[in-house]
Amino acid sequence: MKFRTFAMFVGPSVFLMLLFIAAPLVSVFLQSFQITQPVLEVQEVETCTPGFLTQTCTVETKTVPVLDEAGNVLTTTEWVGFLSYQRVLQLDRVKAAISSGNWGEILTIDFWKALRFTLTFTLFTLPFVIGVGLAIAVVVNNLTKSLKGPVIFISLLPFIITPVIGALSIRWLFYGDGIVTVWLEALMNTDLSIAANGWAVEFLMMFYRVWHVAPFAFVIFYAGLQTVNQDTLESAIIDGASRWDRMRYVVIPHLMPLIIFITLIHLMDAYRAFEEVVGFSSQAQRITLQWLTYDFMVPDDAGNRAISRASASAMLTMIGIIIILLPPLRRTWRDQKGG
């Protein structure tokens, strides 16, 4: 293929990736080392109480932002190095907690609390997504043709539903007077408050993730099962291999590239979890790194946003994604090199 033809095909994609991925990433990286603050000045403001004969006036000194000719607040940008990262990580509190032996104090820091839950959420749901997806694919693959269509449609419904709507649906089943909560209260003869229990909320968030993402794994595995060498399976049956042995020594090795692919997709997606926090309103009990970045961007009472800390949090999240992706990427590289 000529270079000109290749450039015409690849050029638009490269341009859009540079415009919408590389440029924002560079901007966030630079903003993590900067702090933008409004320009303030001290003014004396005279306040008088209403009165007809006597009027009391007081003079107060207030700090107010400086406005330009258009009425906008003037700001200054200052390079601060790793100050924003230090404020997000709060390493001084971490060192103090370690030196005192109070490890639980670390989980009171927003970043480390979010990191603990994000890692648990990502790594704990991964084997269930792969296992449930593979189980559904094997069951559907062994069904008759008349049943495959309806079962596939029903299995894909959780993946089709909008993530926030799916999270809210499960939340309404358990929170407050939800149907499942009412049944559990009647069965256990006690009052339950699932929304007030952090571990119960965490379990529901993980359950939702598996319920929502397992259909994606099912589709990938079902397509992979169609390419399994039938001659090899028949030879294994003739040799007396059980169903589990055929699955372990024939099917799973054949699907290993797809397992790694699903692992990569799940790790990248689950580490950036955000809908679960919104859908289950878990800000008081469980937060994720992605939600922490969003929280930094929420304006405070004065209308200011912690853009520098949000940028630092976003960069730390990206570094975490790269770290957890290294093992499957190394496995893929070794398999490719060996092949």
CA separation (Å) from 160 to 38, 130, 149, 154? 45, 18, 16, 10
pLDDT over threshold 60, residue 299: yes
Confidence label for 161 from pLDDT (cuts 50, 70 and 90): confident
What is the structure's pLDDT at 219?
A: 94
Domains and CATH numbers, the chain: 103-338 (1.10.3720.10)
Q: How far is Cα 202 from Cα 286, in angstroms, rounded to an integer? A: 7
Contact 38, 74 (CB under 8 A): yes
pLDDT, tens digit, 9 for 90 and up, residues 92-127: 999 999 988 888 889 889 999 999 999 999 999 999
What is the structure's pLDDT at 262?
A: 94
What type of residue is 212? H
Confidence label for 203 from pLDDT (cuts 50, 70 and 90): very high
What is the structure's pLDDT at 339?
A: 55
pLDDT, tens digit, 9 for 90 and up, residues 264-283: 999 999 999 998 999 998 88
**How high is the mean pLDDT of the chain?**
88
The pTM of this model reads 0.84
Confidence label for 1 from pLDDT (cuts 50, 70 and 90): low
Of the ranges 173-177, 253-257, 335-339, the best mean pLDDT one = 253-257
Contact 68, 88 (CB under 8 A): no
Q: How far is Cα 12 from Cα 118, in angstroms, rounded to an integer? A: 35
